[in-house]
Amino acid sequence: MKILSVNAGSSSLKFQMYEMPEEKVLISGVFERIGLDNSFYTIKINGEKVKKEADLSNHDVAVNILIKELLENKTIDSLDEIKGVGHRIVHGADKFSNSVILTDDVIKEIEKFSDLAPLHNPANISGVYAFKKQIPNAVQVGCFDTAFHQTLKEDRFRYAVPDEWYTKYGVRKYGFHGMSHKYVSQRVMELLDKDLANVIVCHLGNGGSISAIRDGKCIDTTMGFTPNAGIIMGSRCGDIDYSIIPYIMGKTNMSITEIDNQLNKKSGMLGVSGVSSDFRDIDIKIEENHKPSILANDLYINSIVGYVAKYYVELGGIDALCFTAGVGENAPHIRRMIVDRLSCLGIKIDKEKNDEFRFGKEGIVSSQDSKVPVFVIPTDEEVVIARDTYDLI
């Protein structure tokens, strides 16, 4: 059965087509700068990547070209071969704890959450409408970034704010990166050959979050009402004292919108280092003994170690510590600095193994005398979407 996994952004559209249940990737690609000048797309098939320029005025045009590429590359002979299209939907609030078939009523319900994810949900839904129009016979499925975290109990997802904020306005912890945390926690349980296990997953990229997972269910996570909570990130501040906001507004006359932009796009590693939100750029400056970059890195490690230690206690010990996503998978020195700080818990790293695991390589990087195995597991959100779509069909 052929299934498409789709992630539609406001100006982009990523996709992978799978043969299910074998989970074989047949073709993948990304359409970029949709609705903007100089738009283009990239197709990868049989190990070869081809970039093409195209006038991508909207998502409908992108989907039309995608279908044309599927046919021309003989990935399909007709659209009827595509049985399902799974869509990444960023926010399902507390309404959706699992992936669902996207009926008209469900889509209307998701559209109600647009004010919780104004940059993401409308774009996700535009992708849904484009595929419904172009591939009407395929089952459309919504897979939510927030769904995996809906197992949090009320004493973990509620904030100590006026009750009306929660009951009337939905102010609570939702958590994000759910499909990544789901994939990695399931994968590590396979590698451990255990049905029951306590796992901490560190999804470390330009955006980052950490989750405490007991027996496949999330009990706590760092991101909150928005993705700006938790650990320090590339350009997001993570946890701060909220009183900073009215203080800076008073000092600078910035609006709340300007403040929000500063905390989401001008803070984090970028804000402290003054260099970049890209960890690779900061690493270069650290080698040059650039003090602000060194400080940014120290703050970053501190924020991660603090949450890992907290979740270790909340879980009552762990069976595995996992690193994933761009930084987690490809920055051995970051993994080493984090694990070295956790040595009091008996967690130790093997330097040679750790240096070896990068660029898609999966395995254990802890030393033989470590009380807890440390894994590097490349994340695969697309296959989670494909699995859920296949299961629902």
Report the C-alpha gap between 248 and 258 in whole angstroms.
11
- Residue 269 near residue 300, CB atoms below 8 Å: yes
Asked if 77 is an active-site residue, the reply is no
**CB–CB of 309/302 below 8 Å?**
no
Give the DSSP letter string of 276-345: -S-HHHHHHHHHTT-HHHHHHHHHHHHHHHHHHHHHHHHHTS-SEEEEEHHHHHH-HHHHHHHHHHTGGG
Q: If DSSP states are collapsed to H, E and C, what string results for 228-257?
A: CCCCCCCCCCCCCCCCHHHHHHHHHCCCHH
Q: Which residues of 249-276 are buried (b: 16+ CB within 10 A; e: fewer)?
A: eeeeeeeeeebeebbbeebbbbbbbebb
- Cα–Cα distance measured from residue 124 to residue 12, given in angstroms and rounded to the nearest whole number: 10
From 104, 145, 193, 283, active-site residue:
145
Measured distance CA(379)–CA(356) in Å, rounded: 18
The residues carrying an active-site annotation are: 145
